[in-house]
Amino acid sequence: MDNPRVIEGEVTARGRKVAIVAARFNEFIVSSLLKGATAAWLERGGGVEDLLVARVPGAFELPVVARKLAASGRWDAIVALGCVIRGDTPHFDYVAGECARGLNLASLETGVPIVFGVLTVETVDQALERAATTAGNKGGESLETALEMASLMARL
């Protein structure tokens, strides 16, 4: 049998419009994710006028805003950024779980890629590691995932 045709997305911001929804809770972490995402957008050739950032109080509020942006038809992909730290509280499971569930549902309902750039960690140190300004910034990675998915969706 011949090799099957393979379709993949390209990680480029040229000609793309992307919206980021970012929680303010744990701002000291989320601001680094936001910086990583913005830097990745510019590195990949995106224009400042084609990137929107909407802020919400906490991770629990990310899905409803992501869904509204996705349903508007104005954005090729949405990136949701937040940070939920477990500490000792069972509240974590509700906030992190409903955030993940809501974002996935919004993506499936609208057909627009919504990337889960929400850190769900046990400790502040783990969060700092994943929000590093050098390598491995989850905000930058999420933005690149959004670009790849936007490209793939357009090619399917």
17, 31, 58, 153: which one contacts ligand INI (CB under 6 A)? 58
The DSSP code for 110 is H
Using CB positions, name the residue nearest to ligand INI. 58
12, 25, 39, 68: which one contacts ligand INI (CB under 6 A)? 25
CB 23, min distance to ligand INI, A: 4
Query: Which residues, listed in sequence order, are joined to residue 120 by a DSSP beta bridge?
Result: 84
127 has catalytic annotation: no
Looking at the chain, list the stretches that DSSP marks H as alpha helix, in order from N- to C-terminal side.
27-43, 62-71, 91-110, 124-130, 138-155
The full DSSP string for 35-65 is HHHHHHHHHTT--GGGEEEEEESSGGGHHHH
16, 26, 41, 131: which one contacts ligand INI (CB under 6 A)? 26
State in Å, rounded, how far the first CA of the chain is from the last one.
23
Region 67-96 residues binding ligand INI, contact defined as CB under 6 A? 82-85, 91, 95
| Residue 60 touching ligand INI (CB under 6 A) | yes
CB 30, min distance to ligand INI, A: 8
Contact 46, 16 (CB under 8 A): yes
CB 148, min distance to ligand INI, A: 25
Active-site residue, from 14, 24, 74, 91: 91
**Distance of alpha carbon 55 from alpha carbon 24, whole angstroms:** 7
Residues at the interface with ligand INI (CB under 6 A) = 23, 25-26, 57-61, 82-85, 91, 95
Catalytic residues: 91
